[in-house]
Chain A
Amino acid sequence: MKKFRFLFSMFMVITMALSFNACSDDDDPSKDPDPETKIDYHFDIFMTVGKHGGMNRGDGTIVKSVDALTANMEMIDIKNDGIEFRSPDNTYSMEAIVKGKYYYQVPNSNDRFTKLQVVGNSVNIIQEQKFAQNTYKVRSYTHAWINDNTLVIMSANGDADKVIWTKLNVDDMRILAEGTLDLPLPEGAKVFTTSGILTYSEGAGKLYYFYYGKNKTGRGAVATSNFLSAVINPSDMTIESSKVNLLASEMAGSAYGELMQNCVMYDESGNLYLAAFTDANEIEQGHLLRIKKGETDFDASYEGYPNADGKLLTIQSLGNGKALTYARNDATGTDIDSYSHYYSIVNLNTGARERLKYNGQEIPYSSGRFSQRTVVVDGKAYVGVNTADSNPCIYIYDIETGNIEKGVEIAEGYYFDNLRVLKNDE
């Protein structure tokens, strides 16, 4: 029986390899990483079975760690492989903070902060910290790194009329300080948005908090104004300024920060960029806004993503004045799994953008509104797609040359929602 299974498996592998040769025609050995170059990172691919993993929808999140995403790698599959993102006593959310070798998050138990690591087919809990005063809900908070060791967590409280914060030393996960922002509700608002977006500008040495108010909690609530930006002194968490922006109605990721999708980035000059949108022309029209280094307000003259055809979902800096964006063409569909999402390379200086192309052809639309399938590492952007007519796979974009090659394929049948890069253990 085992022999038969082995032969059958081999047959399947060969058949698949032949049938998907379009994804493998670039497996030029010369493009393999230089064996002399020590790769000190790996990729964690988050896949779910039966349902999407975003929004903490189930127990089915499986993480598969791989060393590379190049075309010569075996097709990524989680059949009897990968690790369920849980420990015996807790379930972890796909929405997590990633830095260095570790994940940080509030797990499903809603009672602690957890620092953990995925190694092979195991989840290792590195350190936990029970909530002391402020409590947070899984996937409903925003965060910022003040430095490599200091993490700030922030979210609205239960009544959503105040914003609470906690500072953690991630070395030992001890709570350094916590409290409540002295931040009034926007005029006419009864509640804050759940998490808002928090980010730390190294250049300015300040925390920026993007938020808005709503007229009520629950379903049918509407924003009372365009979103606001508050500048916070990171040492004592005092509010230095807060003002309504005039350029866009809402920032991306208002309910779950950047735990899933990146909507804030910085360029080499330290300028801050924020993905946002406005309801206009019957679409959610995306905007890429900028706050120049050291300033507290958005640059009214800047639009990094002009004439958007839909919502701008994620942004990541590629350096050299370029950014990788994931956006939606609203006319093509606005459902979570509409094939209407696409990647572009944006020139941050001019706002010019170009759809990501492979072999001269635009990569077709992907499905997956709640996904972050891109990472930038080692001069390359790894871009995961889920197009209608082929298996999900990774494209590898060389930032310097602009070349793009096709990478590893991902087995069909799952929801491929997240791609992350983490440092290896020493």
Chain B
Amino acid sequence: MRFLFIFIILNSLLSIGLHGQNKIFISGEIKDEKDNPISQALIAIEGTAVGTYSNDNGAYTLELLPDKYKIVISSVGYKTLKAEITIQANKKQDFVLEENKVTLEGVTVYGKSRVQQIRESSFAVNVLQIGESLQNSSANLNNIVGRTSSVRIREEGGTGSDFDLSINGLSGNSVRYFIDGVPLSSLGSGVSLSNVPTNIIEQVEIYKGVVPAHLGADALGGAINIITKKNQRNYLDASYGIGSFHTHKADLNAQFIESKTGLIIRPTISLNYSKNDYTMKGVEVWDEDCRKYILVDRKRFHDDYSSLFGQFEVGFANKTWADALFISCSYSEINKELQTGSVQSKVYGMAKKESNAWNISARYQKRDFIIENLQLNASLSQTWDRSLTVDTAYRQYDWNGDYIETPRNEITGRGRSMRHYKRPAAIVRTNFDYWLNERHSFNANYLLNRLNNERYDDVDADFEASNDVMAKHILGLSYGQSLLKRRMSNTFFIKEYINHLNIRQTDIPSVTGSKEVTGSITQNFFGYGISTRFTIVDPLAIKASYEHSVRLPLARELLGNGTTVYANVALKPESSNNINMGIFGTWRPASGHTFYYEANGFLRYADNYIQAAVSEKEGTLQYENVPSVHIKGIEGEVHYNWQNKLQLSTNISYQDARDQGKYKTDGKISATYKNRVPNQPWVFGNVEASYAWRNVVLPESKLRLGCTYQWVHWYFLTWEAYGARESKARIPTQYIYNTNITYSWKHGRYNIALECANIFDETAYDNYKLQKPGRSFFAKFRLFLN
């Protein structure tokens, strides 16, 4: 397979023409006659499918080859503007649109936004633009990403709770997270989709199964790449929100450009706090009078969550010596009380987790680096990440908030523990993009992620401190083709994974394998893939992709945790053969009406799953490779947009994960072989609708009313075929309705949003009996100055 793949690439290389042409950028702002920015204006090259939309600040950027173009700029409510422009180098060009007092009938809309372009690439990818409506809302990235097809997020509670995100049925460590192509963990282990400030985000790319080589990911099931804003003018974006369960959110994000030197300063700060004191319905409390447990409703009492994220970035953009050079420093801190264990009947009242991380990083971007058509993206990052789990109270709590003094701690039922993890991490990313011509491009990516894993305990004297070192080198090479006048595009890629370990723990070598691999060890693994897209007619295209993906074991899996998890340094990486195939298209049946549809089928053949197994010794775990699952599924989504006023979208996902462990540990056929994997949602969907009115009450205002509906079909907690069906534990069907109303005036300078989540106060849980919040309200004010 590997040789076939290399052959395909070599064969393709031989067909490459030699007409090298440099890609350049045209950028600027779209404004009205009163100098107000116009968002969502379409900037398109006439006669082609190339185009983009202006962002909230009216800014746009188009990537083109040097040539003469007829540019068409259109926006609802404004006269369409056409201009002929010749560009030979990067160019800044602003446009002013004239308000159209007459009917908009007959305005021709064409061209594609950047979001649409990525969505229509050969990869199976969802792209979410974090537009003003999302930035005005209280939704975090988890909420937003969780409403897309194929993605399911299972939360254990309210704000800041632990969650598990799955893409096409693969979850947990199978999915990798990035911010601007750099692992999100560089901001600290506590930073996740639930607390990354949304107002710094331009868009989110969700890669399903097949992950482009430029991300440098050892992802088995997919990757999520957060793209931050790259505005080119001064602005201040500040918001504060308050909601149910004593929830407060405040964000500040700004950019100041010093006019003389062009020095750009970007401060960001984000605060989240919630008591999460929502009502738990039907929890057990002991009634001594009737001597039994009775079911009552009680508020959560030990679930405070706070997060702080601050970042300060300085640098330059659009200089002759750098398209971007920035240095940044960030700090994150998460404090989290723990209310329950893995089930709601395990109630905690004192245990908590804390983490903080400092990061310093630098990034450099340059087009035409050394040679023409070569673009360099490089970044360096050093993170000092610490976390602490405090479990020192010898108490046992109940849902009344009462406790008894006990002879053991809350979480593990053992002795007191203050467990520290120090994980300094260095990340280096180097990415070269080279366009040979408009049809052929190459990308080379190198990612180094070096991690120390130092553990110690303040009070548990028996805990064995250790400091292990892991370094992952991930090399990716890809070659992209654009053929048949861009109707077809192909990408071929290979990835090399190098895992270097320095094992310094030597205890119990017969169990951990540390006798054989003490000291340094380096392992190599190989991955590869291909993706293709072919446009049959404009509203109909097909795409297919394949990747043999690999996930390297994590520190905890390889090296244990010092107490309850033994090391297994002989662990193999997980691997999967991922296949996607789908159709998609954009159909514009009439002026102002746009339909986008997409339907995909996917297969995931995952093997050597890394799974925790109980070892013979009391209460200990060890990760091991097990035969895993095959997943097949289909998903579809449809979007409809009428003049940017009415927006409707719906998606549905079906996935069928079957156990592939043919044999039990005793060597006999397992009853679970080819059975549906339990405790996993297998069919779920979302519906969203919104309508926007302009100039309501105040001029230059916008009123938007939106609602969402989320549905997850019930599923069994355990293997469905075994045990009397009527008595089996289930995670019930979820029907969650949310609604929101947003009012913006002064062209989005002032924004107020009111939201109600879970309107009908449904009892909902993603994990067995771990209740999520009921009905909640949230109000947010956002100020955007530019």
Q: B-contacting residues of A (Cβ < 8 Å)?
A: 49-50, 52, 55, 57-60, 62, 78-84, 86, 88-91, 108-112, 121-122, 127-135, 137, 140, 157-160, 162, 164, 172, 174, 180, 190-191, 194, 216-221, 255-256, 335-337, 339, 367-369, 386, 388, 411-415
Kindly state the separation between the CA atoms of A88 and B618 in the bound complex, as whole angstroms. 28
Chain A CB within 8 A of B554 CB:
no
For chain B, residues 625 to 669, give those with C-beta under 8 angstroms from any C-beta of chain A.
659, 661, 664-669
The 9 closest A-B pairs by CB, nearest first: A158-B408, A413-B671, A157-B407, A109-B345, A337-B666, A130-B286, A367-B666, A255-B618, A159-B415
Cross-chain contact B672 with A49 (CB below 8 angstroms): yes
Could you give 15 example pairs across A and B, Cβ below 8 Å?
A81-B723, A81-B724, A82-B724, A83-B723, A84-B727, A109-B343, A121-B727, A130-B286, A135-B407, A158-B394, A160-B415, A220-B464, A337-B665, A388-B666, A412-B671
Cross-chain contact A50 with B670 (CB below 8 angstroms): yes
Kindly state the separation between the CA atoms of A369 and B721 in the bound complex, as whole angstroms. 26
Cross-chain contact A135 with B408 (CB below 8 angstroms): yes
Cross-chain contact B668 with A133 (CB below 8 angstroms): no
Kindly state the separation between the CA atoms of A133 and B403 in the bound complex, as whole angstroms. 10
Cross-chain contact A339 with B666 (CB below 8 angstroms): yes
15 additional contacts, CB 8 Å, given A82-B723, A158-B408, A158-B416? A50-B672, A55-B614, A59-B718, A80-B723, A89-B344, A91-B343, A135-B396, A158-B409, A194-B618, A217-B414, A219-B507, A219-B563, A219-B566, A220-B508, A413-B671
Chain A CB within 8 A of B526 CB:
no
Cross-chain contact B404 with A218 (CB below 8 angstroms): no
Residues 141-181 of B, flagged 1 when their CB comes within 8 A of A and 0 if not, give: 00000000000000000000000000000000000000000
Kindly state the separation between the CA atoms of A367 and B416 in the bound complex, as whole angstroms. 38
List, in ascending order, chain B residues with CB within 8 A of A89's CB.
Answer: 284, 293, 295, 344-345, 769
Given contacts A135-B406, A135-B407, contact A217 B291 (CB under 8 A): no
Given contacts A59-B717, A134-B406, contact A219 B727 (CB under 8 A): no
Kindly state the separation between the CA atoms of A162 and B406 in the bound complex, as whole angstroms. 13
Contact pick for A49, options B508, B679, B718, CB 8 Å: B718
List, in ascending order, chain A residues with CB within 8 A of B734's CB.
Answer: none
* Nearest CB on B from A107, distance (A): 8
Nearest A residue to B286, CB-CB: A130
Given contacts A108-B343, A217-B414, A220-B508, contact A133 B405 (CB under 8 A): yes
Cross-chain contact A78 with B664 (CB below 8 angstroms): no
Kindly state the separation between the CA atoms of A254 and B396 in the bound complex, as whole angstroms. 25
Kindly state the separation between the CA atoms of A228 and B709 in the bound complex, as whole angstroms. 64
Kindly state the separation between the CA atoms of A122 and B672 in the bound complex, as whole angstroms. 23
Chain A CB within 8 A of B67 CB:
no
For chain B, residues 556 to 571, give those with C-beta under 8 angstroms from any C-beta of chain A.
562-564, 566
Q: Size class of B's contact patch?
A: 35 or more
Given contacts A79-B721, A157-B407, contact A216 B672 (CB under 8 A): no
Kindly state the separation between the CA atoms of A160 and B406 in the bound complex, as whole angstroms. 13
Cross-chain contact B667 with A131 (CB below 8 angstroms): no
Given contacts A60-B719, A83-B723, A111-B396, contact A90 B345 (CB under 8 A): yes
Cross-chain contact A413 with B729 (CB below 8 angstroms): no
List, in ascending order, chain B residues with CB within 8 A of A131's CB.
Answer: 396, 404, 406
Kindly state the separation between the CA atoms of A385 and B717 in the bound complex, as whole angstroms. 29
For chain B, residues 700 to 742, give those with C-beta under 8 angstroms from any C-beta of chain A.
717-719, 721-729
For chain B, residues 287 to 336, give those with C-beta under 8 angstroms from any C-beta of chain A.
291-293, 295
List, in ascending order, chain B residues with CB within 8 A of A174's CB.
Answer: 291
Residues 387-421 of B, flagged 1 when their CB comes within 8 A of A and 0 if not, give: 00000001010100000111111000111100000
Given contacts A59-B717, A133-B405, contact A110 B727 (CB under 8 A): no
Cross-chain contact B394 with A50 (CB below 8 angstroms): no
Central interface residue in A50, A109, A110, A216, by most chain B CB within 10 Å: A50
* Nearest CB on B from A417, distance (A): 11
Cross-chain contact B346 with A49 (CB below 8 angstroms): no
Nearest B residue to A161, CB-CB: B415
Nearest A residue to B412, CB-CB: A158
Cross-chain contact B664 with A415 (CB below 8 angstroms): yes
Given contacts A50-B719, A59-B729, A135-B396, contact A158 B414 (CB under 8 A): yes
Kindly state the separation between the CA atoms of A337 and B562 in the bound complex, as whole angstroms. 27
Given contacts A82-B723, A132-B404, A164-B407, contact A137 B291 (CB under 8 A): no
List, in ascending order, chain B residues with CB within 8 A of A49's CB.
Answer: 671-672, 718-719, 722
* Nearest CB on A from B570, distance (A): 16
List, in ascending order, chain A residues with CB within 8 A of B665's CB.
Answer: 52, 335-337
Chain A CB within 8 A of B616 CB:
yes
Given contacts A111-B345, A159-B407, contact A60 B724 (CB under 8 A): no
List, in ascending order, chain B residues with CB within 8 A of A220's CB.
Answer: 464, 507-508
List, in ascending order, chain A residues with CB within 8 A of B35's CB.
Answer: none
Cross-chain contact B718 with A219 (CB below 8 angstroms): no
Contact pick for B723, options A62, A112, A158, CB 8 Å: A62
Cross-chain contact A84 with B508 (CB below 8 angstroms): no
Cross-chain contact A219 with B664 (CB below 8 angstroms): no
Chain A CB within 8 A of B520 CB:
no
* Nearest CB on B from A200, distance (A): 23
Chain A CB within 8 A of B463 CB:
yes
List, in ascending order, chain A residues with CB within 8 A of B415's CB.
Answer: 158-160, 217
Central interface residue in B295, B620, B672, B673, by most chain A CB within 10 Å: B672
* Nearest CB on A from B745, distance (A): 51
Nearest B residue to A392, CB-CB: B668
List, in ascending order, chain A residues with CB within 8 A of B416's CB.
Answer: 158-159
* Nearest CB on A from B104, distance (A): 57
Cross-chain contact B616 with A336 (CB below 8 angstroms): yes
* Nearest CB on A from B417, distance (A): 10
Nearest A residue to B397, CB-CB: A111
Cross-chain contact B729 with A86 (CB below 8 angstroms): yes
* Nearest CB on A from B310, distance (A): 38
Kindly state the separation between the CA atoms of A161 and B606 in the bound complex, as whole angstroms. 45
Cross-chain contact B723 with A160 (CB below 8 angstroms): no
Residues 668-684 of B, flagged 1 when their CB comes within 8 A of A and 0 if not, give: 11111100000100000
List, in ascending order, chain A residues with CB within 8 A of B293's CB.
Answer: 89, 112, 128, 130
Chain A CB within 8 A of B462 CB:
yes
* Nearest CB on A from B437, distance (A): 55
Cross-chain contact A172 with B291 (CB below 8 angstroms): yes
Chain A CB within 8 A of B617 CB:
yes
Nearest A residue to B567, CB-CB: A219
List, in ascending order, chain A residues with CB within 8 A of B460's CB.
Answer: 217
Cross-chain contact B669 with A216 (CB below 8 angstroms): no
Residues 334-354 of B, flagged 1 when their CB comes within 8 A of A and 0 if not, give: 000000000111110000000
